[in-house]
Amino acid sequence: MEMTDELVSSTPGSAPHRSPTPELHAAYTTFEILVALVAVVGNAMVMFVFRRDRRLRRRTNYYIVSLAAADFLVGLLGIPFAILASVGLPRNLHACLFTVSLLVMLCTISIFCLVGVSVDRYWAILHPMCYSRNVRTRTAIVIISVCWVAGAGVGLLPLFGWYANVDSTRGCYFVEVMDYNYLLFLYFATIVTPSVLLAAFYAHIYRVVVKQVNDICLLNCLQLTLFPF
């Protein structure tokens, strides 16, 4: 959410950053704090219930808990860092890069976890026999680990030198610090590609489910016709 808003707000090389009016910034900060509170409390409850109730520790729910953990961190760290970046803090270059990179990393992990959930559901619904035979809790943990490592790899790239050469003392503004090519890469890696995958997976799942429902209805109609009593 935060990353998308920042990506579309400006482009590197544009006019110097214009600070929002105090009223607008106060409204933005209040809204972000409310979102952060909901994210932290809601996702903390999900993780707490999963930990307390052993009956919920099924492999499918591991994906849900992973997504909850990612969103929990977005609320706990990502949104506060986004609020700092909205006022140009911190002004030290490396601290600035760490702040914006962590924000990108957490949002990317959350998106990749959504893709992981869709892959699991796609596999389970379209290939149930193969899924039940081959997929174990360890498989889910491996897929989740890949989502986190890939998200960290994408998000932390600015810390390894992929950022714009700007004077950070003017302020730590996302679109001024980030390199344009990195923003373009980020757009396709975290928005376009995941969106296409999610749409493709769930569209196929929908078609399969509708076909199965129609087949069941047809079978019931045949049974009623052949054996009315």
Report the CATH number at residue 13.
Answer: 1.20.1070.10
Residue span of the structural domain in which 136 resides: 2-226
What token pair was written down for 31?
A: 């809204």
Q: Is 108 exposed, middle or buried (0-12, 13-18, 19+ CB in 10 A)?
A: buried
Q: If you compute the radius of gyration of the chain from its CA atoms, what whole number of angstroms results?
A: 22
Query: Beta-carbon neighbour count of residue 159 at 10 Å?
Result: 15
CA dist., res. 2 & res. 16, Å (int): 21
pLDDT of 167 higher than 50: yes
pLDDT of residue 11: 41
- Which tens digits make up the pLDDT trace of 110-161? 999 999 999 999 999 888 888 888 888 899 999 999 999 999 999 999 999 8
Q: Which residue has the higher pLDDT, 12 or 21?
A: 21
Q: Is the dihedral of CA 17, 21, 27, 30 positive or negative?
A: positive
More confident call, 190 vs 23: 190
- Report the predicted TM-score, pTM, of the whole model to 2 decimal places: 0.81
Phi, psi of 2 (to 5 degrees): -60, -45
CA nearest to 144, candidates 62, 71, 57: 62
Torsion from C-alpha of 158, 29, 79, 5, nearest 10 degrees: -60
pLDDT tens-digit readout, 78-108: 999 989 888 888 888 888 899 999 999 999 9
Nearest CA among 148, 158, 151, 146 for reference residue 189: 151
Say how many domains are in the chain.
1
pLDDT-based confidence at 8, cuts 50/70/90?
very low
Cα 15 from Cα 109, distance rounded (Å):
31
Reply yes or no on whether the pLDDT at 27 is more than 80.
yes
Tokens at residue 84, please?
Answer: 């700092």
